[in-house]
């Protein structure tokens, strides 16, 4: 049985954190499971959590009128889901659903925000890492926008 | 040059050369005056050569002028190059009929066999250019059959330059002005003290055999000296210079040089330079059908990297700007050619300078890029 | 004069095509078809993975198309073609029983023969899977002597994916297959996101991994960067390049990329060789 700290250490986002910071963050975390198709959060709901995927896969979705749900990204083991807990107004921007049986570590955002206020070094380390993850996602999203495969069309 | 003594041939006996070539079944091609330019065409005799004519060349400028003497080869190179025989401007590769399944029947491949040419009046830079085209067209895994046929059959009568045009820079490129090899016969024309003769040197066994059939004996020492002096005149008069020191790496460093923007403002992207250049080899392949779609032809014709379509892939042209296309042409000619084919692509003939309608000068561009590179170095 | 019943290609130079009959035709996506061809005369074409032919419907212009068939068996010549212009549309519209003209094979193949014992990650974007399919089949045929075989494949959406029935078969044969699309509906069970995101998830062993990449140039650049971050250097990443080609034999000049002629020195290259040249805009 791996401890939450051990599981966190496998995630690129948490690489290089000092042991006491790992412990502080792990203190806000707990294991959780979602079944296939189970909704993890909905757009607009309060975002006071984030997740580290251990197993399975999570789909981020947008509901579009007359088009139904559009999956814009899937997230997989060792990846972080959610950063809205860090920024006002702390509301989820998308829906999330487990595509298959999924195990995560759920981190309490309120708990962690409190710890970051008390320990700015912890806050800085977390902010740095989340900024990195957001930057990577932004870059990937921009590539998606480029639509490099082109539109199939009848010539 | 061979240390053997040359053979002196009188101007009046030059037609014996044409006769000897004729006996051997050659189609003789060489410079003639047509449409106010010195171009290559069939020669029946020395009367077809542009006796007493010369050319006046500068950037974007070409005129023919009368000389004060009757020299047969008193000019440099014109808009034609021997490339038009090695790699014809347009040639049909094959034609066929389309059958009911959309397949080929009655395929006729156009003969690769070319006439046995005798090229008369080939300059040193042109010999080098022909060798460069050999490497491109014959050096790979699929030798071009027309080039092969031409080269196998050709008899080359080179003419040593005794003057240089203002746009010439063969000395910079190490391609002249004196041809040392690659010909069957080389002629140096001498006009002095009322005499008009040629000193002929054999460059091959075929050349020796043909010269043996020509009248004229061994040249005297004074005549050898006169010929040598005439050839040095060409080197002394060389119109331009191109510093080739480290030119490949210089251009590889200079892809973002502001000079390309500068030349792009002048360049019309007309492609004249590629047409007159004796080594530009790019071609395009087109399939055409008749209106009924039953007769199909595949034609290969000269192409130019200056056309927008040249680099077209789905989505558009890779080189959409004139800047990128001029850069491609010049960098290919002086730098990437070396990596692709083992030598420079430029022989210093100056045609691109003469025939550019806006007078863009490759030697000036190379100088500007080198200066810009040195300034960049000084700043760093 | 040659009637179509006589062998043509061997005698008549490299610019004369051979007729092949279309024996099967399948539509893969809205604008992509896979055709199977058999020579009208003579033996099947032998080729190496990564090579291409100059393909044409008679009279409509020739284009370079990668060979997508199995290099290990003398089966039909397979071409997956995207109809983007006149020549490719004419090829895609050719019905079974009609002829297409073929010259080739040309080009330098994928270095699959040199990858014994290594982990090979095949990364394809869009129609880029077509030139890689022969490499995949070759590697699967030799999987006993290979390390991990991984396929990372991305397309625009689930309807734009190629060879979907085969992907499952390859997974059954032991290939680790991950498929991603730029966007999908909720019934899609694969990844959503760009191909470079699959690289980290594959957890490659940098000491043993070699990558073969093919797809849009933008995708190749960012995927190569992701591979570098995962510890796989440009010397162990191979890509397939594409440029305008008219002859396929190194004479027409069109396929130049700096100092290289893609038809002759490529289309496959080490990423480390070609990256500096691709970084120059409008080269």
Tell me: the pLDDT tens digits for B174-214?
A: 999 999 999 999 999 999 999 999 999 999 999 999 999 99
Q: Do A59 and C192 touch (CB under 8 A)?
A: yes
CATH number for the domain including C123? 3.40.50.80
C152 and C95 in a common domain: no
Give the list of residues 6+ apart from residue B31 with CB closer than 8 angstroms, or none.
B38, B39, B40, B49, B50, B73, B75, B78, B121
Please tell me the distance in Å from C6's CA to the nearest CA on chain B. 10
Residue C220 CA to residue C213 CA, distance in Å, equals 7
Q: Kindly state the average pLDDT of the residues C167-191.
A: 95
In this prediction, residues A36-61 reach a mean pLDDT of: 95
Say whether both C48 and C159 belong to one domain: no
Residue C7 covered by a domain: no
Domain range for C93:
18-104
Q: Binning pLDDT at 50, 70 and 90, where does residue C11 land?
A: low
Token look-up 């029946």 returns: B44
Q: What is the predicted pLDDT for the residue at A66?
A: 78
The beta strand positions in chain A, using DSSP E, are 29-34, 39-41, 49-55, 58-64, 68-75, 80-81, 95-98, 102-108
Q: Regarding predicted confidence, which is higher, A147 or B7? A: B7
Residue A39 β-bridge partners:
A97
More confident residue, C249 or A151: C249
For residue B322, pLDDT over 80 is answered with yes
Q: Residue C12's pLDDT band (boundaries 50, 70, 90)? A: low
Distance from the B179 Cα atom to the nearest Cα atom in chain C, whole angstroms: 27
CA distance C12 to B145: 10
Closest CA to A31 of A113, A95, A107: A107
Domain-embedded: residue C262: no
Task: Give the domain CATH number at C46.
Answer: 2.40.30.10
**pLDDT tens-digit map of C234-282:** 999 999 998 999 999 999 999 999 999 999 999 999 999 999 999 999 9
Closest residue in A to C159 (Cα) is: A152
Chain C residue with minimal CA distance to A150? C156
Same-domain check for residues C44 and C130? no
Distances (CA, A) of C76 to A141, B58, C45, C132: 40, 60, 8, 17
Distance between CA atoms of residues B215 and B233, nearest Å: 28
B109 in contact with C at a CB cutoff of 8 Å?
Answer: yes
Asked if residue A153 is part of any domain, the answer here is: no
Distance from CA of B259 to the nearest CA of C (A): 16
Q: How many domains does chain C have?
A: 2
Mean pLDDT of B255-266: 97
- Determine, yes or no, domain membership for C70: yes
Q: Which residue segment(s) compose the domain that A66 sits in? A: 4-146
Mean pLDDT computed over every residue of chain C: 93
Could you tell me how many CB contacts below 8 A there are between chain B and chain C? 146
pLDDT in tens, B118-175: 999 999 999 999 999 999 999 988 998 889 989 999 999 999 999 999 999 999 999 9
Cβ-defined contact of C31 to A147 (cutoff 8 Å):
no
Q: Is residue A64 situated within a structural domain?
A: yes
Shared domain check, C138 and C38? no
DSSP string, B241-269: ----TTHHHHHHH-TT-THHHHHHTT---
The answer to whether residues C144 and C199 belong to one domain is: yes
In a domain, A154, yes or no: no
Establish, for the pair of chains A and C, how many residue pairs have beta carbons separated by less than 8 Å: 88
| Spatial distance between the Cα atoms of C162 and C30, rounded to a whole number of angstroms | 11
Please state at what angle helix A109-118 crosses helix A120-146, rounded to 10 degrees: 130
Residue B1 pLDDT exceeds 60: no
List A125's β-bridge partners, or say none.
none
What tokens appear for B162 in the block?
């005794």
Alpha-carbon gap: B339 to the closest alpha carbon of chain C (Å): 6
- Find the CATH number of the domain harbouring A44: 2.60.120.10
C19 contacts in B (CB within 8 Å)? 103-104
| CB-based contact, C258 to chain B, within 8 Å | yes
A80 vs C contacts (CB less than 8 Å): none
Q: Would you say residue A152 lies in a domain?
A: no
Tokens representing C228?
A: 């570098």
User: Does C60 contact B287 at a Cβ distance shorter than 8 Å?
Assistant: yes
Q: Is residue B3 pLDDT above 60, yes or no?
A: no
Share of chain C above pLDDT 90, in %: 89
Q: Which domain-ending residue is among C104, C128, C151?
A: C104
pLDDT tens for residues B338-366? 999 999 999 999 999 999 999 999 999 99
- pLDDT > 70: percent of chain C: 96
Measured CA to CA, the distance from residue C193 to residue C226 in angstroms comes to: 14
Confidence at C113, pLDDT banded by 50, 70, 90: confident
- Flag whether pLDDT at B251 surpasses 90: yes
Q: List pLDDT tens digits, range B68-78.
A: 999 999 999 99
Paired tokens of C262:
């893609």
pLDDT of C1 strictly over 50: no
Average pLDDT over residues B321-331: 97
State pLDDT tens for residues B92-111. Answer: 988 889 888 878 788 887 77
Same domain, C232 and C119: yes
Residue C6 has pLDDT above 80, yes or no: no
In-domain check, residue C151? yes
* Chain A neighbors of C89, CB-CB under 8 A: 155
User: Could you tell me if B284 lies within 8 Å of chain C, comparing CB atoms?
Assistant: yes
Q: Are residues C149 and C179 in the same domain?
A: yes
pLDDT score, position B15: 97
Q: Final residue of a domain: which of C223, C240, C257?
A: C240
Domain membership flag for residue A48: yes
**Residue whose tokens read 């997974």:** C171
pLDDT in tens, A19-29: 999 999 999 99
C-alpha to C-alpha distance for A43 and A95, rounded to whole angstroms: 5
Residue C209 lies in a domain: yes
**Per the domain annotation, does C253 fall within a domain?**
no
Question: Residue C226: inside a domain, yes or no?
Answer: yes
The answer on pLDDT for C2 being more than 70 is: no
In this predicted structure, the answer to whether residue C56 has a pLDDT above a threshold of 80 is: yes
Average pLDDT, chain B: 94
Q: Which residues contact A76 (CB under 8 A, 6 or more apart)?
A: A53, A57, A58, C191, C201
DSSP code, position C244: -
Residues C56 and C158 in one domain: no
Q: Please tell me which of the candidates A68, A144, A154 has its beta carbon nearest to residue C194.
A: A144
The complex's ipTM works out to 0.91
3-class secondary-structure state, position C51: coil
Q: How many angstroms separate the CA atoms of B54 and B68, rounded? A: 10
**Phi first, then psi: what are they for B316, rounded to 5°?**
145, -170
Asked if pLDDT for residue C8 goes beyond 50, the answer is no
- How many angstroms away from the CA of C91 is the closest CA of chain A? 12
Using an 8 Å CB-CB cutoff, list chain B residues near C101: 104
Least confident of A65-74, B6-15, B126-135, C169-178: A65-74
Exposed/middle/buried for A87, CB within 10 Å: 0-12, 13-18, 19+? Answer: exposed
Within a domain: A126: yes
Q: Is residue A61 part of a domain?
A: yes
Measure Cα distances from B230 to B75, B161, B218 in Å.
13, 8, 18
Q: Are residues C93 and C137 in the same domain?
A: no
Q: Do residues C91 and C167 both lie within one domain?
A: no
Q: What total number of domains does chain A contain?
A: 1
Same domain, C117 and C234: yes
Q: What is the pTM of this model?
A: 0.90
CB A79 within 8 A of CB A8: no
The answer, yes or no, to whether residue C211 has pLDDT greater than 50, is yes
């Amino acid at each position: 049985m791996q401890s939450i700290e051990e599981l966190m250490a496998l995630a690129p986002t948490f690489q290089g954190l000092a042991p006491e910071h790992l412990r502080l963050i792990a203190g806000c975390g707990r294991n959780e499971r979602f079944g296939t198709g189970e909704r993890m959060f909905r757009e607009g709901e309060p975002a006071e959590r984030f997740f580290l995927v251990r197993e399975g896969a999570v789909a981020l979705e947008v509901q579009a009128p007359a088009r139904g749900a559009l999956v814009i990204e899937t997230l997989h083991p060792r990846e972080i889901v959610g950063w809205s807990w860090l920024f006002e107004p702390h509301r989820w921007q998308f829906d999330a659903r487990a595509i298959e049986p999924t195990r995560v570590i759920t981190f309490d955002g309120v708990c962690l925000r409190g710890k970051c206020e008390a320990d700015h070094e912890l806050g800085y380390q977390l902010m740095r890492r989340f900024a990195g993850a957001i930057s990577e996602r932004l870059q990937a999203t921009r590539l998606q926008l480029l639509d490099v495969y082109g539109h199939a069309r009848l010539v | 040059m061979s240390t053997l003594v040359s053979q002196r041939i009188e101007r009046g006996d030059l037609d014996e050369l044409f006769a000897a070539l004729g006996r051997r079944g050659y189609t003789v091609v060489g410079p003639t005056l047509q449409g106010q330019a010195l171009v290559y065409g069939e020669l029946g005799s020395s009367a077809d050569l542009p006796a007493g004519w010369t050319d006046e060349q500068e950037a974007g400028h070409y005129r023919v002028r009368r000389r004060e003497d009757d020299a047969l080869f008193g000019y440099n190179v014109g808009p034609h190059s021997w490339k038009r025989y090695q790699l014809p401007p347009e040639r049909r590769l094959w034609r066929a009929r389309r059958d009911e399944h959309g397949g080929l029947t009655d395929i006729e491949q156009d003969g690769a066999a070319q006439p046995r040419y005798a090229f008369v009046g080939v300059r040193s830079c042109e010999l080098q250019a022909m060798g460069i085209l050999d490497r491109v067209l014959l050096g790979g895994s699929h030798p071009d059959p027309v080039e092969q046929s031409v080269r196998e059959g050709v008899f080359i009568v080179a003419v040593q330059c005794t003057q240089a045009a203002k746009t010439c820079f063969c000395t910079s490129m190490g391609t002249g002005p004196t041809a040392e090899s690659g010909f069957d016969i080389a002629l140096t024309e001498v006009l002095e003290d009322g005499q008009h003769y040629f000193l002929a040197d054999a460059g091959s066994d075929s050349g020796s055999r043909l010269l043996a059939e020509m009248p004229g004996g061994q040249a005297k020492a004074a005549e050898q000296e006169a010929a040598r002096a005439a050839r040095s005149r060409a080197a002394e008069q060389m119109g331009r210079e191109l510093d080739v020191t480290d030119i490949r790496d210089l251009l590889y460093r200079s892809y973002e040089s502001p000079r390309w923007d500068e030349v792009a403002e002048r360049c019309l992207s007309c492609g004249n330079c590629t047409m007159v250049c004796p080594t530009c080899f790019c071609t395009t392949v087109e399939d055409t059908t008749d209106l009924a779609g039953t007769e199909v032809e595949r034609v290969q014709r000269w192409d130019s990297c200056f056309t927008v379509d040249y680099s077209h892939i789905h989505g558009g042209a890779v080189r959409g700007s004139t800047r990128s296309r001029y850069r491609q042409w010049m960098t290919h000619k002086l730098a990437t050619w070396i990596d692709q084919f083992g030598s420079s692509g430029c022989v210093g003939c100056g045609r691109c300078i003469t025939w550019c309608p806006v007078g863009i000068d490759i030697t000036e561009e190379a100088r500007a890029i080198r200066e810009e590179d040195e300034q960049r170095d000084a700043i760093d | 004069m040659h009637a179509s019943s006589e062998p043509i290609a061997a005698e008549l130079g490299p610019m004369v095509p051979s007729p092949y009959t279309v024996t099967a035709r399948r539509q893969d996506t809205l604008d992509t078809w896979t055709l199977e061809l058999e020579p009208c005369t003579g033996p099947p074409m032998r080729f190496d993975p990564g090579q291409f032919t100059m393909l044409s419907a008679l009279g409509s212009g020739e284009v370079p198309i990668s060979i997508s068939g199995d290099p290990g068996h003398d089966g039909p010549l397979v071409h997956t073609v995207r109809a983007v212009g006149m020549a490719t549309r004419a090829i895609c519209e050719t019905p079974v029983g009609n002829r297409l003209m073929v010259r080739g094979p040309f080009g330098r193949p994928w270095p699959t023969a040199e990858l014994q014992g290594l982990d090979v990650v095949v990364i394809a974007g869009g129609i880029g899977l077509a030139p890689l399919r022969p490499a995949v089949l070759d590697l699967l045929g030799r999987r006993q002597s290979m390390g991990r075989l991984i396929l990372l494949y991305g397309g625009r959406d689930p309807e734009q994916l190629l060879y979907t029935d085969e992907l499952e078969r390859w997974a059954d044969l032991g290939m680790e297959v991950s498929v991603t699309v730029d966007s999908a509906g909720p019934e899609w069970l694969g990844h959503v996101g760009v191909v470079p995101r699959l690289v980290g998830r594959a957890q490659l062993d940098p000491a043993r991994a070699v990558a073969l990449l093919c797809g849009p140039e933008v995708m190749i650049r960012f995927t190569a960067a992701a591979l570098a971050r995962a510890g796989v250097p440009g010397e162990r990443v191979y890509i397939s390049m594409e440029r305008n080609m008219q002859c396929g034999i190194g004479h027409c000049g069109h396929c130049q990329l700096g100092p290289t002629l893609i038809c002759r020195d490529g289309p496959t290259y080490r990423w480390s060789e070609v990256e500096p040249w691709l970084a120059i805009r409008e080269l």
